[in-house]
């Protein structure tokens, strides 16, 4: 008969154990929680309120329980019961020990009050709950009838309707009868860990344990058929108690900068929805304390019902099909089959360097082919080339796609059918050697490879920290670590982007001006190809990765930290066209898709306006230099006035408007690019031949390295002495980026003209060449790698220098592997097709 009491205690214990961490700020255990609303009047009231709905058999049992409880004065002992539950740290994981625990409270001997009364209570409990208790199946029909009625007495449960409510009743029944699947569900709940006051607010529980539960309840009593349901992981959000935050002392200001929420992992039957759990939780704790819950099945739509995702898969499959077929064609030698007649074609002049110079190494070899030999002419940096038997000119150490022919040359060459050549443009036999080749032309500025690879590494390192800080269990410690002097370089990884702007400007100027000199003037076709090649070079990879990001990323993971939707998913649906036009940094830039693409938009815009400076530099160098100086003045004024008019702090992490109103705006970021145009002009004008006094070269190196060190580390002062004044921060923001570019510009000039020493040896190391070609793809794909890893973890990590070193090594390695795949699919084949078309 005491099974009814077990049900009452069980339900209250389940409620207490599940939600004590959530809403009961003043409790220390289940007993204290139960004491707040469980007493004789409450229990008798619950029993009386449901007796009218009970069957005669169950009503008689409850009446007998009530009579026995009154006779033994059991309900008068609730304070002692709850105190014992607190003392023994009782939870549902040791639910089977409840009878013994209660019996121990009323042991005949000891200091527990009246011995005769205690003995009476102990006999009552042992008779009902002890080894002599009947088989649970005898009472299961009664429990099935009573549990729904008892559940309705739990605050908020009345709002949960339908199958969810029935399955919760089955879950409680399973807990009370010790079913393994029910214990697994309850065991998977998140529990308060250590380090709460150091930011450990994600009590995520055991995701896999919950999701693997498959409950089968055989038909017994009122159940006419077997019942089945699966476990579903739900994450509840509960406001961190303000009283606890106040007691956190020095950590409170950092931890509680805004409303902080505990993320509690729970496990419910899969018939329950996020709305069910939210209504239940809000009824218990209120809307403010319990803003909502998110259940696993409500996260991700079905792939089969997502036409955009299906379209993306189809497009990727087409590229993959061409790659496989092209590789097979070339592998079996089918590409050697040529048309009967030889076809004449012209190799049109174009500059392979009209590409994304900031990311990709653009080798320019100005050639004038004559009898299979390409003489140096007026350019001492041009190498000889030999002519292969099929008439294809290949320089010593220059890959085929690096060759630039400045004169139209009529070549008689056997051709494979156009369809075959289309497929072989995707062949791995063609694209992979080009990407992995370490050869460079003699006119290449070889140090750019090392700068490019180190800069992308700096980007990934910065994002290893910034993307991962939300998923650590020692966030307070992590923020304290950022105050170290050694961390300042990581925190200022923003300068790596300015390095790319500088490199892009250098190559844009150097290549464009050399092309104009080779053609002895400005030709309309040169200007057209200047823009066409740029679009072809950037767009395929950029568009495809953005397409994949916007449509397929949500299907790439699962877990307690997986949100199931992109934070900018709606933005991608509404503003994709701004990415298509490279305007996402200035149009609707607070709602841009694929946020890191702001760099590409800026770079493309800078490239578009670069001829406004470069053409005057070619025709009238003095006027061109004056225009560059005016550009610097305009940049400085635009950046300064933008920051001065900005409300709040002028820092990326201190003001939500900083990113959209300043950080990604082209006229506030063009400074380093203008420096790059000047550096490129100097290299062009001097033909990479500059004579320096050794003392002057050494002095320039000292100044350059000093400036680099200063702009990176000077703001470490803020971490020690508090934030700078706004005017000081504005001056730093406006001046530091051009200064960084000027200092790095000297490194490029010195290395390109023979004054680089061992630094040039390091930066020009041949292994950087293929890695440099992949930096454009790495910039995009590393976001996928970091986001997917961080979001699919089942628990937080404890951050440390060693942990970050391991993560960074993994991120950069996997990013290059993924970048290679992306380049082989979407980038290298399109460049091959462009070359094939331009040869017509």
Higher pLDDT residue, 831 or 380?
831
Mean predicted confidence (pLDDT) in 349-363: 45
What percent of the chain stands above pLDDT 70? 67
**Looking at the predicted structure, is the pLDDT value of residue 831 above 70?**
yes
How confident is the model at residue 179, as a pLDDT?
87
Mean predicted confidence (pLDDT) in 781-798: 89
How confident is the model at residue 824, as a pLDDT?
97
Q: Give the torsion sign (CA, 669, 670, 674, 680).
A: positive
Backbone phi, psi, residue 174, to 5°: -65, -40
Higher pLDDT residue, 397 or 595?
595
Mean predicted confidence (pLDDT) in 258-263: 74
How confident is the model at residue 545, as a pLDDT?
95
Q: What is the pLDDT of residues 432-489, one digit of tens each?
A: 999 999 988 777 899 999 999 999 999 999 999 888 777 888 888 888 888 889 899 9
Map 617-645 to HEC letters. HHHCHHHHHHHHHHHHHHHHHHHHHHHHC
Helices and strands (H and E) in the chain: how many: 37, 11
What percent of the chain stands above pLDDT 90? 41
How confident is the model at residue 666, as a pLDDT?
97
The tokens of 660 are what?
């959209």
Q: How many CB atoms lie within 10 A of CB 37?
A: 11
* Angle of the 307-331 helix axis to the 524-551 helix axis, nearest 10: 120
How confident is the model at residue 386, as a pLDDT?
35
How confident is the model at residue 243, as a pLDDT?
60
**Looking at the predicted structure, is the pLDDT value of residue 347 above 60?**
no
Between CA 783 and CA 600 the distance in angstroms is: 15
Q: What is the pLDDT of residues 645-694, one digit of tens each?
A: 888 777 777 677 899 999 999 999 999 999 999 999 999 999 988 888 88
**Looking at the predicted structure, is the pLDDT value of residue 584 above 90?**
yes
How confident is the model at residue 242, as a pLDDT?
65
How confident is the model at residue 47, as a pLDDT?
55
Mean predicted confidence (pLDDT) in 714-743: 91
Higher pLDDT residue, 677 or 18?
677
Confidence bin at 213 (pLDDT 50/70/90): very high
> How far from 314 is each of 162, 220, 321, 575, 797, CA to CA, in Å?
40, 51, 10, 22, 37
How confident is the model at residue 175, as a pLDDT?
84
> Exposure string (b/e) for 212-226, b if CB count within 10 Å is 16 or more?
ebebebeeeeeeeee
Mean predicted confidence (pLDDT) in 290-309: 81
Higher pLDDT residue, 338 or 432?
432
Between CA 58 and CA 62 the distance in angstroms is: 6
Higher pLDDT residue, 407 or 336?
336
**Looking at the predicted structure, is the pLDDT value of residue 269 above 80?**
yes
Confidence bin at 371 (pLDDT 50/70/90): very low
The tokens of 87 are what?
């003392």
**Looking at the predicted structure, is the pLDDT value of residue 697 above 90?**
yes
pTM: 0.77
How confident is the model at residue 458, as a pLDDT?
97
200-203 long-range contacts, Cβ below 8 Å, gap at least 24?
A: 200/473, 200/474, 200/475, 200/796, 201/240, 201/260, 201/261, 201/262, 201/263, 202/262, 202/263, 202/471, 202/473, 202/560, 202/561, 202/795, 202/796, 203/21, 203/262, 203/263, 203/264, 203/265
**Looking at the predicted structure, is the pLDDT value of residue 278 above 90?**
no
Between CA 273 and CA 299 the distance in angstroms is: 11
> Exposure string (b/e) for 396-427, b if CB count within 10 Å is 16 or more?
ebbbbbbbbbbeebebeeeebeeebbbbbbbb
Confidence bin at 563 (pLDDT 50/70/90): confident
The tokens of 161 are what?
């309707």
Looking at 236-245, 300-309, 741-750, which range is the least confident one?
236-245
Between CA 815 and CA 508 the distance in angstroms is: 27
Residues 6+ apart with CB under 8 A from 627: 612, 613, 616
Q: What is the pLDDT of residues 600-645, one digit of tens each?
A: 999 999 999 999 999 999 999 999 999 999 999 999 999 999 999 8
Burial (CB count <10 Å: 0-12, 13-18, 19+), residue 236: buried
Q: What is the pLDDT of residues 70-90, one digit of tens each?
A: 655 555 555 656 665 565 555
Between CA 449 and CA 625 the distance in angstroms is: 27
Confidence bin at 708 (pLDDT 50/70/90): very high
Q: What average pLDDT does the chain have? A: 77
């Amino acid at each position: 008969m005491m099974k009814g009491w077990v049900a009452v205690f069980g339900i209250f214990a389940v409620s207490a154990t599940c939600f004590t961490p959530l809403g009961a700020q003043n409790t220390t255990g289940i007993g204290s929680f139960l004491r707040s609303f469980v007493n004789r009047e409450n229990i008798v009231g619950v029993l009386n309120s449901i007796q009218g709905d009970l069957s005669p058999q169950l009503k008689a049992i409850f009446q007998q329980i009530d009579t026995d409880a009154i006779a033994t004065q059991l309900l008068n002992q609730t304070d002692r019961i709850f105190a014992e539950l607190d003392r023994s740290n009782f939870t549902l994981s040791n639910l089977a020990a409840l009878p013994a625990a209660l019996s121990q409270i009323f042991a005949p001997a000891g200091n527990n009050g009246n011995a005769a009364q205690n003995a009476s209570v102990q006999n009552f409990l042992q008779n009902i709950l002890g080894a002599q208790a009947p088989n649970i199946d005898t009472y299961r029909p009664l429990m099935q009838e009573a549990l729904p009625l008892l559940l309705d007495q739990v605050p908020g449960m009345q709002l949960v309707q339908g199958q969810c409510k029935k399955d919760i009743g089955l879950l409680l029944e399973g807990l009370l009868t010790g079913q393994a699947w029910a214990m697994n569900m309850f065991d998977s709940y998140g529990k308060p860990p250590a380090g709460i006051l150091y930011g450990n607010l994600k009590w995520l529980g055991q995701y896999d344990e919950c999701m693997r539960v498959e409950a089968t309840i055989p038909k017994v009593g009122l159940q006419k058929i077997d019942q089945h349901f699966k476990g579903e992981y739900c994450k509840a959000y509960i406001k961190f108690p303000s009283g606890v935050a106040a007691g956190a002392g020095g950590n409170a200001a950092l931890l509680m900068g805004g409303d902080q929420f505990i993320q509690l992992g729970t496990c419910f039957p899969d018939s329950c929805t996020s709305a069910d759990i939210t209504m239940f939780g809000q009824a218990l704790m209120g809307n403010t304390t319990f803003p909502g819950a998110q259940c696993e099945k409500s996260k991700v739509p079905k792939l089969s019902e997502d036409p955009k995702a299906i379209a993306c898969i189809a497009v990727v499959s087409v590229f993959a099909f061409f790659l496989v077929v092209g590789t097979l064609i070339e592998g079996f030698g089918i590409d050697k089959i040529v048309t009967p007649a030889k076809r004449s074609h012209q190799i049109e002049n174009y500059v392979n360097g009209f590409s994304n110079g900031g990311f990709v190494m653009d080798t320019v070899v100005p050639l004038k082919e004559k009898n299979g030999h390409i003489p140096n002419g007026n350019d001492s940096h041009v190498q000889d080339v030999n002519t292969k038997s099929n008439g294809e000119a290949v320089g010593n150490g220059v890959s085929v796609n690096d060759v630039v022919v400045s004169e139209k040359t009529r070549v008689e060459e056997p051709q494979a059918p156009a369809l075959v050549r289309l497929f072989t443009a995707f062949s791995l036999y063609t694209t992979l050697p080009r990407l992995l080749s370490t050869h460079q032309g003699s006119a290449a500025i070889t140090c750019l490879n090392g700068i490019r690879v180190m800069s992308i590494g700096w980007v990934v390192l910065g994002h290893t920290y910034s993307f991962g800080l939300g998923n650590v269990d020692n966030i307070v410690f992590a923020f304290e670590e950022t105050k170290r002097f050694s961390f300042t370089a990581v925190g200022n990884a923003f300068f790596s982007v300015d390095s790319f702007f500088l490199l892009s400007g250098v190559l844009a100027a150097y290549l464009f001006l050399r092309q104009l000199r080779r053609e002895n003037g400005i030709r309309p076709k040169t200007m057209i190809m200047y823009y066409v090649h740029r679009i072809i070079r950037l767009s395929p990879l950029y568009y495809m990765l953005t397409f994949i990001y916007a449509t397929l990323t949500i299907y790439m993971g699962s877990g307690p930290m997986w949100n199931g939707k992109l934070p900018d998913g709606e933005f991608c649906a509404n503003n994709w066209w701004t990415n298509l036009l490279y305007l996402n940094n200035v149009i609707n830039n607070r709602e841009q898709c694929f946020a890191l693409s702001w760099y590409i938009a800026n770079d493309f815009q800078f490239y578009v306006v670069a001829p406004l400076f470069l053409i005057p530099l070619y025709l009238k160098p003095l006027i061109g230099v004056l225009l560059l100086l005016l550009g610097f003045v305009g940049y400085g004024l635009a950046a300064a006035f933008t920051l001065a008019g900005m409300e709040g702090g002028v820092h990326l992490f201190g003001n939500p408007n900083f990113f959209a109103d300043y950080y990604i705006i082209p006229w506030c970021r063009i400074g380093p690019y203008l420096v790059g145009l000047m550096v490129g002009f100097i290299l062009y004008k001097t033909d990479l031949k500059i004579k320096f006094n050794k003392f002057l070269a050494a002095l320039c190196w000292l100044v350059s390295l000093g400036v680099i060190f200063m702009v990176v580390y000077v703001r470490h002062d803020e971490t020690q002495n508090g934030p700078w004044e706004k005017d000081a921060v504005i001056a730093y923001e406006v001046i530091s980026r051009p200064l960084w570019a000027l200092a790095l510009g000297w490194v490029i000039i010195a290395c390109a003209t023979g004054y680089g020493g061992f630094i040039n040896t390091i930066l020009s190391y041949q292994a950087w060449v293929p890695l440099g070609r992949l930096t454009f793809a790495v910039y995009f794909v590393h976001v996928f790698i970091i986001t997917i890893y961080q979001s699919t973890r089942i628990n937080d990590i404890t951050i440390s220098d060693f942990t970050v070193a391991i993560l960074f090594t993994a991120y950069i390695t996997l990013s290059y592997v993924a970048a290679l795949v992306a380049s082989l699919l979407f980038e290298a084949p399109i460049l091959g097709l462009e070359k094939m078309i331009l040869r017509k």
